[in-house]
Amino acid sequence: MTSPFSQTDAHGRLRHLITLDGIGRGLIEELLARAQGYVTPAGALPPRGDELAGWTVANLFAEPSTRTRASFELAAVRLGADTINLDVMLSSRAKGESIIDTIYTLQEMQVDVFVIRDAEPGIHEYVARHVGPSVSVISGGEAHLSHPTQGLLDALTIRQCKGDFGPLVVTIVGDIRHSRVARSAHRALTTLGVAELRIVAPPAMMPGASEFAGARRFESFDEGIAGADVVMMLRIQRERIAGSGTTDSVEYHQHYGLTAARLARAHPDAIVMHPGPMNRGVEITSDVADGPQSLIRRQVGNGVVMRMAVLAHLAATRRARAP
């Protein structure tokens, strides 16, 4: 029988970050505060530190990425680490090498952290069970299941604009069923105590009843957005839906696209978020995506400081564990 897996140590500090499941409010608050500490004023040089001096961080991405991969690399470099960026599809895995042989190979090169994006559920935990005792695994996205640093950076962005999570109504809209972003946002925001979390989707994109505990479900976008403080838009995850080519983008936009008229139904101070990549004209119009209520670009910047915070936390906990 496989032994239970824990991504935290006996003191509740992170050894790996694979999911936000089981991560308590105290640790999330600590990571948000650490990330906020790295935020610099607009126009200033980016933050730098030596928390990862001497470390090597390897990005192993088996699915496309712009934001997550680039921000993990910048986060590692800005904290003093060396980095390896392996395009998994161009690595020796394409010649039949197993993931674990790839990991063992890089571990011999003294990699300290593996950041992994993969479409196969469970691969992150599998790797974490096999790495050496001082090596950490961070998820940069696991199938439709989990994208923990995205959930954290979304929470950071909301905190910067809204302060207290307690009174907030957050509406997440789109292909919830296939979205790891929605799952990690739900986990982070319910742990942080938002007043109400709503999910809005057509029936084919609504998750099963056993998921998204406590969330209010809406088929009608106009109803789900009414009075919302935060509107988080998602793209259709066509790569995870068999026959998704049949989804009509024009019809989808009519029912689930965020337009200025729809946004007017939300709270007047509502903020608009999107994890990217966006499909303009499908789930969101350009005037909203580039408009005054949009924090979509802020989310990207927060991705770097949030990933710096996670890496720095792992370094601090490793120092604390050292004899």
Q: Which residue, 102 or 150, is less far from ligand CP as judged by CB?
A: 150
Residue from 13, 67, 240, 265 touching ligand CP (CB under 6 A): that is: 67
- At 295 the three-state DSSP class reads coil
User: Which residue's Cβ has the minimum distance to ligand CP?
Assistant: 68
* Contact between 275 and ligand CP per CB under 6 A: yes
- The rounded distance, in Å, linking the Cα atoms of 122 and 32 is 26
Helix, strand, coil proportions of the chain in percent (round to 5)? 40, 15, 40
- Number of residues interacting with ligand CP: please give it, by CB under 6 A: 9
Q: Which residues pair with 294 in a beta bridge?
A: 272
Residue from 40, 66, 105, 249 touching ligand CP (CB under 6 A): that is: 66
**Contact string 192-211 vs ligand CP (x = CB under 6 A):** --------------------
Nearest to 170 by CA among 211, 213, 216: 216
Among positions 103-142, residues that touch ligand CP (CB under 6 A) are: 141
* Contact between 279 and ligand CP per CB under 6 A: no
Residue from 80, 276, 293, 316 touching ligand CP (CB under 6 A): that is: 276
* Contact between 146 and ligand CP per CB under 6 A: no
66 Cβ contact list (under 8 Å, min separation 6): 276, 277
Which helix (H) or strand (E) covers residue 200, if one does?
A: strand 196-200
Which two structure tokens, joined as six digits, stand for 286?
A: 């350009």
* Contact between 280 and ligand CP per CB under 6 A: no
Q: Which region among 28-36, 51-59, 63-71, 216-224 touches ligand CP (by CB under 6 A)? A: 63-71
DSSP string, 145-158: TB-HHHHHHHHHHH
* Contact between 238 and ligand CP per CB under 6 A: no
Q: Which region among 196-204, 211-219, 227-235, 271-279 touches ligand CP (by CB under 6 A)? A: 271-279
* Contact between 157 and ligand CP per CB under 6 A: no
- The rounded distance, in Å, linking the Cα atoms of 210 and 276 is 27
Whether the bond into 268 is cis, omega within 30 of 0: no
* Contact between 150 and ligand CP per CB under 6 A: yes
* Contact between 68 and ligand CP per CB under 6 A: yes
Q: For the chain, how many residues are written?
A: 323
Q: Interface with ligand CP by CB under 6 A: which residues? A: 65-68, 141, 150, 275-277
